[in-house]
Structure 1
């Protein structure tokens, strides 16, 4: 058939778009090129696969390639790497073991995702240095953990008892980077009895969260025997063929393995070569409908930027929900129902052992001022359940608003795992979308029952305190 919808990239954005387009246009040709063997998988679950909580790599797959082909009638071509896009001829060129394919398109979606950032230090190519940006990366790390544990079992017959008394069990390892992946992998490795050293070049972990959240999580990591090296920029990964130590300006720590969790960057080479514009964030620029500067060419997922709901400016926040949501919108648009992808708030969450943290919106004062706001911030710690209810905990909420308008700009929340920091952040997300003020939030009719919260939920307490601060400021001469 003519006018095929062609997708480059078979993960969240790409397969969501293809699936939505198939439902809307049962007779249209839909072709998806994926350079790897895996599609539609939950990369965010990889740390828990490495940890051992998820037993099978296949458990992370939402829909198998066979289901896409047979049940959804999508022409999914795994093992095909797109090497060129010709926007004049409206074709893509893909290479595979069986040869080269030139595929025409009517509409094209670029969903090439992101790749792990490898810091420019000596030794990153040594054996024993890993990243966690793909299913194959996860498989390699899980195999490393299994080998290390097997070796330790051979040396220590009663390993469960030995690990409580020996300083070294499976050996010292390093995690470079104190963001989401770094913290999740620190937990995964510590759970497998490794001595974990976490290196962060800045003065705190979770830089995009509030200071209070970062300090809470850092202290919890230390309680779990993770050795934090803050303000410790890695200069080299030393060794012969295999990594043997992490070298900073002030120290040299011997390790048996290094996990690089220093962030990701958008894969844009293919788009750039085709004349598709990048935005100020370095990711592919797209309008509200996810269309690029080239007509009928769209971009979504971790390779593309989006509009921030607070600032109204482009932002790059590569997360799964955004990819799925934008992919679905494109699937509708290319089949005749123009649909906006929606803005983002930069909402994210992370689990660190028995703590949980969430953030949304704009928290950095300089970023807020650059967007034209005058930020005011308050932090409160409030009970997560009624005081008389057994096993009650606390939630610490950092809330930021604009001094003049009272508009909520962002929040960071942290608590013990299960005490609700993450779920409570959803109320703030709704406030950001509605451009609500702290007074609005203070009057939100949130649910109350003793097992779940107090009469005044911690979010309401934070809004009440911040609203009072803003009122007091207004009364100053």
Structure 2
């Protein structure tokens, strides 16, 4: 029997390979990875640049040698799949020794995503970086060490931009953050954004909101950021304006894409072509609130889908699972989190009649030292009473509280259901009425 072939060796691909080999150790699994690394923690790269993570090797979940020697996976680094022939069940591969073909029984496309490179003049200047791979993170840290810049620009106020602003600040440089929208962290909503913006300013970050970058200035290396109205002098620029799914390979093979631009799949990760699966940052998944396909490239989604597809390939059909878009971001001393649908316009487009409430509550019992404020915005549907999503921001207790709301979304819980959850209480960790419970009670009152 032909082997299982995996295209891409990060979270989804290696999770699938490992799961399949556990189920069928006698079967051959071949993984083609065009880079030098597999199964690495991309989310840890800002903390490597910051210096909190000492080595790139610390970001490796499982080494290539472990996959080969302990798990029996035929791993081929520096091998890029350039064509998939679903009719013949063959992939074409470019490797160090030239081009060759590999037949397959089933194939998983786990090609991930790439950093969006805006059409700015000067993107090719020395000192201008994107960061979506370990080599890019290493290049940024090496540049900081060698050049010791006085001022850096971060273009984009999303996850990467916020985390990299903190990373650069740790190197004692002036940080300028440019965001073309009126607020940073757009998916988290205006309430969270304003808290984060105030905190960034308090930490000395220069915010340039409603500011579109036109080009980078410099001869051989970057010396400034031109916004059309002014030029801000910088010695390094990091562009983090988002990611896009890697779909060129499968588009040429006839795999259908969804409305999001990512690969369309069914609940088991199957594409429209027989024997071809897709998972991870290149693929869509079903949103738990809307029931519709969505593209939210996050680590857990990729790992979970890859593992499920590995089991399905092994003969035990396993759904990849729904997503809620649950995410958390560290912004210096603040934590911001979100889950579900947090934008009222999007909720209306999905057919809901949204109602939102915002409360601010203490993270601990009022008498216990160290209590901090948590601000929570929660959305519900007036017709059904169902919780649609929430955002949170605060200095402590945010990261795990968002998970409570995520569970409620997966259960289809109403606001009154959530208000009755039996959550843990002790003065060092929560008031008697946890802020999530309080928000749900207030939301239920407004929905009623």
Within 1, Cα distance between the matches of 2:85 and 2:163? 40
Query: How many angstroms does 1:210 deviate by?
Result: 2.2
- 1:118 match: 117
CA distance in 1, matches of 2:432, 2:267: 40
Give the superposition deviation at 1:391.
1.0
Q: Is the counterpart of residue 324 in structure 1 residue 303 in structure 2? A: yes
| 2:81 equivalent in structure 1 | 82
State the match for 2:441 in structure 1: 464
Residue in 2 that maps onto 1:140: 139
Structure 1 residues 17-416: aligned runs within 5 Å: 17-149=16-148, 170-416=149-395
Specify the SS of the correspondent of 2:168.
helix
Query: Post-superposition shift, 1:115?
Result: 0.2
Structure 1 residue aligned with 2:400, among 423, 437, 446? Answer: 423
- How far off is 1:363 after superposition? 1.0
1:474 corresponds to which residue?
A: none
Structure 1 length as normaliser, TM-score? 0.93
How far did residue 101 of structure 1 move? 2.2
Match of residue 447, structure 1, among 403, 413, 424: 424
Q: TM-score, normalised by structure 2?
A: 0.99
The question of whether the paired residues in 2 share the 8 Å contact of 1:232 and 1:249 is answered with no
> What CA distance in whole angstroms lies between the structure 1 residues aligned with 2:345 and 2:299?
27
Match of residue 153 from structure 1: none
Does the CA contact (< 8 Å) of 2:5 and 2:108 recur in 1?
A: yes
1:392: how far off? 1.0
Q: Distance in 1 between matches of 2:95 and 2:118?
A: 30
Q: How many residues are treated as equivalent by the alignment?
A: 448
Question: What RMSD, in angstroms, separates the aligned Cα atoms of the two structures?
Answer: 0.8
Offset at residue 3 of structure 1 (A): 2.7
1:331-376 superposed Cα distances (whole Å, 9 cap, x missing partner): 0000110000001001111001001010000011111001100111
Aligned-partner Cα distance in 2 for 1:148–1:50:
14
Distance 1:217 1:250 in 2: 25
Q: Is the 8 A contact 1:302 1:319 kept in 2?
A: yes
* Cα distance per residue 1:244-292 (max 9 Å; x no partner): 1111132211111110010100000001011111111000000000000
Gaps of 5+ in 1: 150-169, 472-477
* Structure 1 Cα separation of the partners of residues 327 and 66 of structure 2: 30
CA contact (8 A) 1:402 1:409 kept: yes
What's 1:15 paired with?
Answer: 14
Q: Distance in 2 between matches of 1:314 and 1:432?
A: 16
Task: Classify the secondary structure of the residue corresponding to 2:14.
Answer: helix
**Partner SS state of residue 141, structure 2:** helix
Between the aligned partners of 2:274 and 2:363, the Cα distance in structure 1 is 51
Moved more, 372-381 or 460-469: 460-469
Secondary structure of the residue that 1:208 maps to in structure 2?
A: helix
Report if the CA contact (8 A) 2:86-2:275 is conserved: no
Structure 2 CA distance, aligned partners of 1:249 and 1:386? Answer: 50
Contact 1:131 1:260 in 2 (8 A): yes
Distance 1:135 1:348 in 2: 22
The 1-side partners of 2:327 and 2:277 are apart by 25
Shift of 1:179: 0.2
8 Å Cα contact 2:177-2:207 kept in structure 1: yes
Deviating above 6 A after TM superposition, structure 1's stretches of 4 or more consecutive aligned residues are none
Counterpart-to-counterpart distance in 2, 1:145 and 1:454: 44
State the Cα distance separating 1:242 from its structure 2 match.
1.2
